[in-house]
Amino acid sequence: MLLLTSRAAQAMDQAIHALLSKASMGMSPISLTLAWSDWLLHLAVSPGRLGTLAQLAAQLVHTSTQAQLGALDNSAAQQPAEVDDRFGDPLWRRWPFEQIRSGFLASSAWWKQASLVDGMARHNAHLVEFFTRQWLDALSPANWPATNPQVLTATLASGGQNLLNGGRLLVRDLVEQQARRGEQPPGTLSPLPFAVGTDVAVTPGKVVFRNHLIELIRYESTTATVHPEPVLIVPSCIMKYYILDLSPRNSMVRHLVDQGHVVYMISWRNPDVSDRDLGMHDYLHSGVMAAMAAIQAGSGADYIHAVGYCLGGTFLAIVAAALGGHDCSSDARSRTGGVCAVCGCGLPKFRSVTLLATLTDFTEPGELGVFIDDDQLRTLREEMAHTGFLSGRQMAGSFQFLNSRDLIWARNVRRYLLGQDSKPNDLMSWNTDVTRLPERMHSEYLQSLYLNNALAAGRYRVGNTAVALGDIQAPLFVVGTARDHVAPWRSVYKIHLLTDTHITFVLASGGHNAGIVSEPGHPHRSYQIASMEHGHRWVDPEEWAAQVPLHQGSWWEAWQAWLVQRSGPRVAATPIPADTVIGEAPGQYVHVRYAD
């Protein structure tokens, strides 16, 4: 009798799981099956709900024949009248496209209601709602040439040239996609539309520290005097750092430097298979804390302003909480090497902490939650076990999936049906410069924070000590963005429940990236801002948004004023010490790219 070893059995299971995952777009087929079964079984035993849906269907069939959906009353059937950019062109108001549009919106309204069934597990309900929306977005008449009046009009006007142009673009994109999937060394990748160090990431500076995980860049001052507290920026390791140093006109780094701040930026290393065992501990200690120690050693600063973006903000919040429970002031410092006599960390204190689009409570992570449950994490771990990392292509695909209406379907219509080649910009170029995440760090991050919410619950451990966000003593400046699919602003706002220090909260227009890259002078930018002091009472986010006035313009200017209030008197600017310089900005790590 042939017996399988445990390793052979595990390999067989993983191979089957990988095939099933590939067939279900990287999702766990078991999670998807359980979700749809949960929905179907609860719907099957709810005759009242079925009756309500039947009545709604009849009503929607009747009203969808009307020329204008806006004529509906305020019943549940009014949902199809929602504003939808896909059908904004006046051509959609003509026969027969008005009927096609209204019929589709009526069907969408019915399916949205049908996906809501009482009694389902919360995660299953989220999966069903999300995939129902994905399915409806894919079936939109705006996506198909025969039912899109804009495409038909363009085809008639150009004699089909738009479709010919779209075909050329499709072939070009398929060839480039195939090339990206090939086994190519970093140097053979297609060049980025905006070259790093030439078009973007051009703020002058020097690399002043490097270890296996980070390079630390110090930027050259452009003012005669500067604020004494350096600004350390901790970007997300999910992305290249220069999202905050794009073109000079929209560079947050350039803005801060021109306002008289001494700015440091972490540039994370793009990992390879040899980095598979790097964990969260490494990103906190060899990343954030190492950068803080390097700033203290190179500048002698006892206080810094720290800024964290996305996952970098979560790292920063953990470090601020870990260091907030003991005194690292200059009085407690052993002046031998600047090491703290209490904890030995040798780190400067936080004068302030700014968190940009950062989650600290993960109970409601928005659309990313559809990818996270025990079985899906097992599927992801099995896949990463073969590669040692989560590829940048996988990550980019997940983010596209979250906003498929705009990032996939609308783009396809514009590109392949209307034949319009998009003009690249610095943000789009950066978006294609993807990064990897090490196997261990990514697993720990999803398991401890997203799945178990350990940070908000006070169970996340740094070393042997559990940390609590309530130990953060520095004042906080927290920014959420109104259309964020990655860090929903209401979840970002929950930091009010977890800390008891000064919080200035900003709700900015835009999404996860565009809402943060919101330079002064950019049109159509607005924000709301309000502060709460130590001992503040809880204000519901909806109540907060309703009562806080709206300001036109960039929140960067309000942030700058906030930083100045918490900074010491300006001092004479000094050049970057020559003995600390390792190389020129933007450094080496930012240039590392992979074909996967």
Active site members: 310
Three-class SS of residue 308? strand
Through-space distance between the first and last CA atoms of the chain, rounded to whole angstroms: 42
Distances (CA, A) of 270 to 29, 450, 588: 30, 23, 10
**345 close to 289: Cβ distance less than 8 angstroms:** yes
Is 166 exposed, middle or buried (CB count within 10 Å of its CB: 0-12, 13-18, 19+)? Answer: buried
Please report the DSSP string for 57-116 in residue order: HHHHHHHTTSS-GGGS-SSGGGGGGS--GGG-SGGGGSTTHHHHHHHHHHHHHHHHHHT-
Is 327 exposed, middle or buried (CB count within 10 Å of its CB: 0-12, 13-18, 19+)? Answer: middle
**363 close to 441: Cβ distance less than 8 angstroms:** no
Is 360 exposed, middle or buried (CB count within 10 Å of its CB: 0-12, 13-18, 19+)? Answer: buried
**Encoded tokens for 174:** 């398929």
What residue type is assigned to position 311 of the chain?
L
- What are 563's strand-pairing partners? none
Q: Is the peptide bond before 96 cis (omega within 30 degrees of 0)?
A: yes
Question: Do β-strands 526-532 and 550-552 pair in parallel, antiparallel, or remain unpaired?
Answer: antiparallel
